[in-house]
Amino acid sequence: MKKVEKTELAIIGAGPGGYVAALRGAQLRKKVILMEEDRVGGTCTNYGCIPTKYLLHETQILKEVRHNPRFRGKEGLNLDWPQVQQMRQSIIDRLVKGIEFLLEKNGVKLIKGKARLINERCAAVATAEEEITIEAERLILATGSRAADLPFLKADGTRVITSREALELEEPPGSMIIIGAGAIGLELGSIFTRLGTRVTILEILARPLPGVDRQLAERLARLLKRQGIEIQTQMKVERAEIFENKVKLSGTCLKTGQPFEVEGEKVLLAAGRRPNSEIVKQLDSALCGPGGFVKVNEYLETDWPQVYAVGDLIGGKLLAHKAMHEGILAVENAFGARHSLEPQMIPVAVFTDPELASVGWTEEEAMERGLKIKIGLFPLHASGRAVAMEKSEGLVKILADDNNRLVGAHLLSPAASEMIGEMALALRLGLRIEEIGRTIHVHPTLSEALAEASLKTLNQALHLIND
């Protein structure tokens, strides 16, 4: 006899969107079942955000010491790569156990196994021991995404790899071609360049980081090229040849119309991600839209009643913190609320050196919407803290409308990912830029640049010449 369990809320996928939704459901005192075929924490914790940030941290220390002319005895300085990889896995395991502990203490039932949908609110989970049927009053789909292949180039885990394999390499390769100059491509390119790999990034669009403020993205690209990363834009890859010890890519440069060829020991696919929507398509493919992403309305409801979807599965900005927030909203909406998420309120960060972080409209987006904007620019060479850190190449850019309300903030700076939260809060609260400018920031800190750039929109900056 098959085992059947009934629950108020079932969630498929225990990545950031799914496990946070489960915790919120438990806070609302609902009976919650969470299904996951791999490890809790999803791609972000196990194969993405967390291990990437650890390797960025380790390699940044190496880079700083190597390039500081005042350090002595640096000859032969390098990372013990096996120990680095061991620590990477230790950090992941610690965080996974932490999530499992939270789920258990909050009364969430975690079932490990591959789930399939039987109908709109009924799933079957194949565990190692048995198949369990879950009958749910409400269902949240949070199955995430995976790295996208190219039609003529698919990951084989050896010569052609995804970010997952890149983070687990036994040793850094001598050369690597990265297809895609988005956040993943630039972050992994930074890691391997610091380790001595010759990195070439090929981007089909005219600039890296499409969707990010153009001025800051182009400035970051120049800084990364100075660090040794070769970034080639408007490069359409059309063919691939895989050999025993290398891969050769060829195609057309869209800027010149000329053919190109480039070779590397490894090719890293970082040109987008595909949703894990097969679980839905098997039952009703009409639930999915372009690219296979599940269609939802502003309240994260699918076309099926009492079925919600969150995170990478529904597209938009493929970010863990977006998925987490959507997980919370989906649960609350499932039990009576009517919350929605405004996309421009979602902050973005790229963990390069310097970091790039952004929230709200870019200058280009504001102009497309016909907004009359004021722009305040504050270069970090006017920041005492940045100069003291020898990190003064960055720029802070603040956008305000004609009522002096903040509409966008774009930071190219060390610790930009930590500072963008202040601007996200200011944007959410609809603050005027003088309120940001007159908020006391600790001196000397990088965050003072937020106040200075805000004041610059009013021509009241203190550490710059105003117009």
Q: Which domains does the chain have, with CATH numbers?
A: 3-146+274-341 (3.50.50.60), 160-271 (3.50.50.60), 345-456 (3.30.390.30)
- Inform me whether the pLDDT recorded for 63 exceeds 60: yes
Nearest to 315 by CA among 299, 291, 347, 332: 291
Q: How many CB atoms lie within 10 A of CB 169?
A: 16
The pair phi, psi for residue 15, each rounded to 5°, is -80, -165
Global pTM value:
0.95
Nearest to 284 by CA among 306, 304, 298: 304
Sorted by sequence, the CB contacts under 8 Å of residue 241 that are 6+ apart come out as 247, 248, 250
Give the relative orientation of helices 16-27 and 320-334 as an angle to the nearest 10 degrees: 40
Dihedral over alpha carbons 366, 423, 60, 312 (to 10 degrees): -70
| 153 vs 248: CA distance, rounded Å | 11
DSSP-assigned states of every residue in 130-173: -EEEEEEEEEEE---EEEPPBTTB---SSSEE-HHHHHT-SS--
| 427 vs 411: CA distance, rounded Å | 14
| 153 vs 1: CA distance, rounded Å | 46
Q: What is the DSSP letter of 253?
A: E
pLDDT of residue 72: 87
The pair phi, psi for residue 447, each rounded to 5°, is -65, -20
- Inform me whether the pLDDT recorded for 74 exceeds 90: no
Q: What is the pLDDT of residues 132-152, one digit of tens each?
A: 999 999 999 999 999 999 999
Q: What is the pLDDT of residues 351-406, one digit of tens each?
A: 999 999 999 999 999 999 999 999 999 999 999 999 999 999 999 999 999 999 99
The answer to whether residue 57 is catalytic is no
Q: How many CB atoms lie within 10 A of CB 210?
A: 13
Q: What is the pLDDT of residues 109-118, one digit of tens each?
A: 999 999 999 9
The overall average pLDDT reported for the chain is 96
Element (H or E) spanning 450, and its range? helix 448-456
- Inform me whether the pLDDT recorded for 128 exceeds 90: no
Average pLDDT over residues 10-14: 98
Dihedral over alpha carbons 67, 226, 251, 160 (to 10 degrees): 30
| 161 vs 188: CA distance, rounded Å | 12
| 215 vs 112: CA distance, rounded Å | 46
Residue 147: which region, alpha, beta or left (left: phi > 0; alpha: psi -120 to 50)?
Answer: beta
Choose the catalytic residue: 57, 67, 321, 443. 443
Q: What is the pLDDT of residues 290-317, one digit of tens each?
A: 999 999 999 999 999 999 999 999 999 9
- Inform me whether the pLDDT recorded for 260 exceeds 60: yes
- Inform me whether the pLDDT recorded for 199 exceeds 80: yes
pLDDT of residue 391: 97
Nearest to 328 by CA among 105, 143, 98, 142: 142
Element (H or E) spanning 355, and its range? strand 355-360
Return contacts of 386-390, CB within 8 angstroms, 24+ apart: 386/413, 386/414, 386/446, 386/449, 388/444, 389/414
With b meaning 16 or more CB within 10 Å and e meaning fewer, what string describes 222-258? ebbeeeebbbebebebeebeeeeebbebebeeeeeee
| 232 vs 354: CA distance, rounded Å | 20
With b meaning 16 or more CB within 10 Å and e meaning fewer, what string describes 414-450? bbbbebbebbbebbeeebbbeebbeeebeeeebbbbb
Q: In the structure, what pLDDT confidence band is assigned to residue 1 with cuts at 50, 70 and 90?
A: low
| 285 vs 279: CA distance, rounded Å | 10
Q: What is the pLDDT of residues 214-247, one digit of tens each?
A: 999 999 999 999 999 999 999 999 999 999 999 9
Sorted by sequence, the CB contacts under 8 Å of residue 335 that are 6+ apart come out as 28, 30, 138
Percent of the chain beyond pLDDT 70?
A: 100
- The CA distances from residue 157 to 53, 160, 164, 165, 168, in Å, are 22, 6, 9, 6, 10
Q: What is the pLDDT of residues 158-184, one digit of tens each?
A: 999 999 999 999 999 999 999 999 999
pLDDT of residue 289: 94
Measured over the CA atoms of residue 243, residue 166, residue 90 and residue 171, the dihedral's sign is positive
CB 351 within 8 A of CB 345: no
pLDDT of residue 255: 95
Sorted by sequence, the CB contacts under 8 Å of residue 427 that are 6+ apart come out as 344, 345, 359, 360, 406, 407, 408, 409
| 416 vs 181: CA distance, rounded Å | 19
pLDDT of residue 467: 85
pLDDT of residue 76: 81
Sorted by sequence, the CB contacts under 8 Å of residue 370 that are 6+ apart come out as none
Q: In the structure, what pLDDT confidence band is assigned to residue 73 with cuts at 50, 70 and 90?
A: confident
pLDDT of residue 254: 97
| 25 vs 47: CA distance, rounded Å | 26
DSSP-assigned states of every residue in 256-280: T--EEEEEESEEEE-S-EEE--HHH
